[in-house]
Amino acid sequence: MRIVVIGATGHIGTFLVPRLVRAGHDVVTVTRGTRTAYADSPEWEQVERVTADREQEDRDGTFGARIVGLRPDAVIDLVCFTLSSAEALVTALRGTDAHLVHCGSIWRVGVSHVLPITEANATPPFGDYGVQKDAIARMLKEETASGGLVTTSLHPGHISGPGWPPIGPLGNLDPSVWTKLSAGEVLEVPGLGAETMAHVHADDVAQAFQLAVEHRDAAAGEDFFITAPTALTARGYAHLAASWFGQEARLDSVSWDRFRETTPPEHAGASWEHLSRSQVFSIEKPRRLLGYEPAYTAEETVLDAVRWLVSHGEVEVALPLVV
């Protein structure tokens, strides 16, 4: 197939584009700038590259026509964040035989009421990002159900992998968390510590997108949650991370008020956004319909990311990794 990947050099595209090339597909990447992927691969030499400022072209009403002009059999959209942008691309592609596969987010779901969360029991989202992602997914589903464009939406968890920091044990990107755990220092954990996070390795997300375009009939009109087969609690994650440095985690459960007093606002806010949702997802549907089988557990996913951070000196740690 001729596959256009919009936003191809980010977390997912770094693994997806080489996968598609190795599978024999003709790949066209559309990116805003000249940034390279997180990991180099010889497959990138076989890719047709297009540079486009999507935000500007959306405002001009020209982006959809640009994508149609690339004559795709499938379009994988990894960087669409508003309903209006998604609707413009659908309108342009409608009437073609292309398959549009959209990257959503597990934050199209709100706080957990039933675990594991499925596509059928999800609660309403909150926050503009999640609300927009949910609105896009619903629009796409209706588009296909009404006989229009063939669409699919995939909703990844917290994407981790070598090259960037993972969401850490406190649900944020605070690098001092790794320093404290590696040194055996006390780490204050807000709430019960039983709150959950749904990580997923970037290569497993890439696998899911590849499966969606290669199993068009099964994916048509569907939406899927894409996560690791396991999820981590805040305290379990902290104990696991400490063990990577040969340490025993020393955790102190504190109130959210105390945590906000002692934590920079950007990190405290991120912790609340992640931990208050406390999500665990079922991946039975993508397994059944697409054959999705993640290669990484949540534990392996975050270790892969932390190992890269430590080896590249991106975090300050007291002891070397022992795993």
The reply to whether the predicted model has a pTM over 0.95 is yes
Task: Provide the terminal-to-terminal Cα distance of the chain, rounded to the nearest Å.
Answer: 41
Q: Which two tokens stand for residue 253?
A: 């459960």
What is the structure's pLDDT at 97?
Answer: 97
Of all residues in the chain, what percent carry a pLDDT higher than 70? 100
What is the structure's pLDDT at 33?
Answer: 80
Residue 279 has pLDDT above 90, yes or no: yes
Mind listing the pLDDT tens digit for each residue in 66-90? 999 999 999 999 999 999 999 999 9
Residue 291 has pLDDT above 80, yes or no: yes
Q: What is the total residue count of the chain?
A: 323
Q: Could you tell me the residue ranges of all domains in the chain?
A: 2-159+199-226, 162-198+231-278+296-311
What is the structure's pLDDT at 12?
Answer: 97
When pLDDT is cut at 50, 70 and 90, the band that residue 221 belongs to is very high
Residue 19 has pLDDT above 90, yes or no: yes
What is the structure's pLDDT at 260?
Answer: 98
Q: Are 90 and 140 in contact (CB under 8 A)?
A: yes
Q: Which residues of 43-80 are buried (b: 16+ CB within 10 A; e: fewer)?
A: ebeebeebeeebeebbeeeebbeebbeeebbbbbbbbb
Q: Are 284 and 224 in contact (CB under 8 A)?
A: no
When pLDDT is cut at 50, 70 and 90, the band that residue 39 belongs to is confident
Q: Mean pLDDT, the chain, as a whole number?
A: 97
Mind listing the pLDDT tens digit for each residue in 241-256? 999 999 999 999 999 9
When pLDDT is cut at 50, 70 and 90, the band that residue 263 belongs to is very high
Residue 285 to residues 20, 130, 218, 227, 309: CA-CA distances in angstroms?
Answer: 23, 21, 11, 12, 33
Q: How many CA atoms lie within 13 A of 306 on its CB side?
A: 32
What is the structure's pLDDT at 50?
Answer: 95
- What is 162-198+231-278+296-311's CATH topology? UDP-galactose 4-epimerase; domain 1 (3.90.25)
Name residue, tokens 């690339």. 70
When pLDDT is cut at 50, 70 and 90, the band that residue 35 belongs to is confident
Residue 283 has pLDDT above 90, yes or no: yes
Residue 162 has pLDDT above 80, yes or no: yes
Mind listing the pLDDT tens digit for each residue in 200-220? 999 999 999 999 999 999 999
What is the structure's pLDDT at 36?
Answer: 80
CATH (residue range 2-159+199-226): 3.40.50.720
Mean pLDDT of 21-30: 98
Q: Which amino acid is at 181?
A: L
What is the structure's pLDDT at 73?
Answer: 98
Among 32-46, 106-120, 151-165, 263-277, the minimum mean pLDDT is found in 32-46
